Amino acid sequence: MAISKSLGNQLGRFELAINGAKAHGQELPKEAATVAANLGSRYKTIQELNAAQEKIKQNVAALTKKIANEVKAAHKEASKIVRLAEATFGPRDARMQEFRPASDARLRRQSKEENPAA
């Protein structure tokens, strides 16, 4: 049977070892009590770090959502500017190139104009 590597399973195994050492401490060598105490402190540290990690994950998810909302709002505003420019200048006006991203063909044409040897 394969041993599960999830953190929850590992913490459960650590807890069983600690509880077993406490329950049978009289029958085990004295070294077992020291090892169980060390394991207990590591167990507590792992739990604290795991809680901190989960909080960070929640913060990252919230920030990612805020970024996505801001990007969406920025796209809407950029589109509005382009529509206003089209209404002012007309959709075929040369000045409209300044409001739109360059196409691949336009980028190639610009690079040839800047560097004719290429």
pLDDT confidence of residue 1: 46
Output the CA–CA distances (angstroms, integers) from residue 18 to 4, 25, 38, 40, in the order listed. 19, 10, 10, 7
Q: Is this prediction's pTM over 0.75? A: no
pLDDT confidence of residue 73: 96
Q: Where are the domains of the chain?
A: 8-110
pLDDT confidence of residue 65: 96
Amino acid identity, residue 110?
A: Q
Token pair in block for residue 43: 């167990």
Report, as ranges of residue numbers, the positions in the chain whose pLDDT lies below 50.
Answer: 1
